[in-house]
Homo-oligomer: A and B are copies of this chain.
């Protein structure tokens, strides 16, 4: 509807400007405040979440069965079931909805997307509860990353899609001069945007909305229909999202099946079958490198955009704020128990120590101070729960144990009690000591609250090893601490060549884990951690094609 496009014009313009300039901007306030979201919003959402437990999720959607086996990492089963259609039903419904959606104009489709994002924002507390109790994130992160930050990423994708589509002119008069006094050749041409077809967005269990929205909205805005395939452990956040999408589509006069939900259960997954369905033209995938590799290799007909994972590193050369550095790194390790794709895993430190504002610090002092800062951050049980949250998967917990057993411990991981959440799956960060030469453990992704302080012969060796890991195993973030500009320049060159974004000298309130919509290009697509960036022009420009019509012009 044109009215949606007009209503949200300022939001779109803000997003377009911010994405072009990469300055700070946000359309969705990140503070979970009653003043912004309504005084009763938080309590209402919590009550609604509790009321939903053990009941069928209310969604008017194709499918005669109901599926769902989610469990909150905070210690209880959700017991929610969702309508589950067969793949053939999904594809048929998606295809049928596609004709009308493809024929809608650019502004109409973008308007619908902007209205969806606006309504998602109003449901940020509902999304927060859903994200908290599927991903296991602490509540404030679940609100911010699952709600406003994810909405900003969605808006960013819509803005890019809009910018790319309007680059194609609607029409042109082509007039070619002819020699010898002949009249010019004149053609009237017009062009239209042709979507690829059916897009599948495969979500993950740790950031079910933040990681899925860019692909979902980039596909939808460019005229494709979308089948949202949540991780079986994190359906609720995307089910709420799909319900809102379908409501807006209906309100705008479209077939709501332009956005569908593909639900499965852990013991009977459908993702492989869906990803290889010949009708699927686009796949957005977030998940493990192993499954990402499978999707890339097997979904030959479809365009595939992935965010997988890698081995993120910090290189410490020197620092003007030893305390700030240790505190900043500790926070990065603690946040959501290291279960962010941006969390650092390896901290490379020269074995003969570093220069700091507090004088020379030995390798052991650096490692010990980081571990101490972690212990201080999580000393208080309530604060520990608010920062660490819980462990999404049993597999991660097992990994913490097995990896810890094979390395030299600096700080041992242990479970902790969360007041009011008996049975929550928890683990404090394990910090292990390694030598650069022994890469068998630190040289692989060890997802979860596991990090290594790695001793190197020099800063150069540290940079080279970290960059080489990024190049070969993938990395989404890198971080360096140095008071020496030559070191920072060398790190910038080498990490850029490895296709990884670099943060320098973070000692304050910005953390390497954080990737800001409209400013940071999240994932480079230039190393094995993912083949795409969320979001840039390449992420959207190939989701649609252009078809032209030309005819001789009246003279």
A contact set with B: CB distance below 8 Å: 20-24, 31, 102, 164, 167-169, 172-179, 185, 187, 189, 191-192, 194, 196, 296-297, 300, 488, 492, 495-497, 499-510, 516, 519-521, 524-526, 533, 536-538, 541-542, 545-552
For A537, list chain B residues within 8 Å (CB): 164, 167, 537, 541
Instruction: Decide if A174 touches B22 in the complex (CB within 8 Å).
Output: yes
Complex Cα distance A551/B547, Å?
Answer: 44
Mostly helix, strand, loop or mixed at chain A's interface?
A: mixed
Which residues does chain B contribute within 8 Å of A507, judged by CB atoms?
552
Q: A524-B194, A551-B503 are in contact. Are A167 and B20 (CB under 8 A)?
A: yes
Asked whether B505 lies within 8 Å of A547 as measured between CB atoms, the reply is no
Question: Would A526 and B196 be within 8 Å (CB), given that A31-B179, A551-B505 are in contact?
Answer: yes
Distance in angstroms from A494 CB to nearest chain B CB is 10
* With A191-B521, A297-B300, A537-B537 already in contact, 14 other A-B pairs whose C-beta atoms are closer than 8 Å: A22-B169, A22-B172, A23-B175, A176-B516, A185-B508, A296-B300, A501-B547, A503-B551, A504-B551, A504-B552, A524-B547, A533-B545, A533-B546, A536-B546
Q: How many angstroms from the CA of A541 to the CA of B177 in the assembled complex?
A: 32
Known contacts A23-B172, A538-B538, A538-B541; is A548 also within 8 Å of B192 by CB?
Answer: no
Complex-state Cα separation, A175 to B18, whole angstroms: 12
Give the CA-CA distance A24 to B185 in the complex, in Å. Answer: 10
Chain B residues lying within 8 Å of A520, measured Cβ to Cβ, are: 189, 548, 550
- Closest-CB distance, A206 to chain B (whole angstroms): 23
A192→B499 CA distance, assembly (Å):
10
Asked if B175 and A499 sit within 8 Å, CB to CB, the answer is no
Chain B residues with CB under 8 A of A164: 537
> Is there an interface contact between B174 and A519, defined as CB atoms closer than 8 Å?
yes
Contact yes or no, B538 A525, CB < 8 A = no
A547 touches B504 (CB 8 A): no
State the Cβ distance, A162 to closest chain B Cβ, in Å: 13
Question: Are B549 and A189 in contact, with the CB atoms below 8 A?
Answer: no
Contact between B499 and A547 (Cβ–Cβ < 8 Å)?
yes
Closest to A281 in B: B526
**Residues of B contacting A172 in the complex (Cβ-Cβ under 8 angstroms):** 21-23, 519
Residues of chain B lying within 8 A (CB to CB) of residue A505: 551-552
Out of B20, B185, B496, B519, which one reaches A194, CB within 8 Å?
B496
Interchain residue pairs with CB less than 8 A apart (11) = A22-B174, A22-B191, A24-B174, A185-B509, A297-B300, A499-B547, A500-B547, A503-B551, A505-B552, A510-B552, A536-B546
Q: Which of B24, B189, B496, B552 contacts A519 (CB 8 A)?
A: B189
Bound-state CA distance A538–B532 (Å) is 13
Are A502 and B174 closer than 8 Å at their CB atoms?
no
Q: Establish whether residues A192 and B545, one from each chain, have CB atoms under 8 Å apart when the complex forms.
A: no
Question: Are A503 and B538 closer than 8 Å at their CB atoms?
Answer: no
Contacts of A500 in B (CB 8 A): 547
On whether the beta carbons of B519 and A545 are closer than 8 Å, the reply is no
Q: Which residues of B contact A191 (CB under 8 A)?
A: 22, 521
Complex CA gap A172/B504 in Å reads: 15
Q: Are A24 and B175 in contact (CB under 8 A)?
A: yes
Contact of A549 with B504 in the complex, beta carbons under 8 Å:
yes
A243 to B189, CA, bound (A): 38
Identify which of B178, B536, B547 contacts A496 (C-beta below 8 A): B547
**In the bound complex, what is the Cα–Cα distance between A300 and B306 (angstroms)?**
14
Q: Could you say which residues of chain B place their CB within 8 Å of the CB of A488?
A: 551
A179 to B297, CA, bound (A): 47
Q: How far is the CA of A333 from the CA of B397 in the complex (A)?
A: 69
- The residues of B that contact A509 with a CB separation of less than 8 Å are 178, 185
Report the minimal beta-carbon distance from A215 to chain B, rounded to whole angstroms.
15
Contacts of A501 in B (CB 8 A): 547-550
**Given the complex, which residues of B lie within 8 Å of A510, measured CB to CB?**
185, 187, 550, 552
What 4 A-B pairs come out closest when comparing CB atoms?
Answer: A496-B547, A504-B551, A526-B545, A538-B541
CA distance A549 to B546 in the complex (A): 35
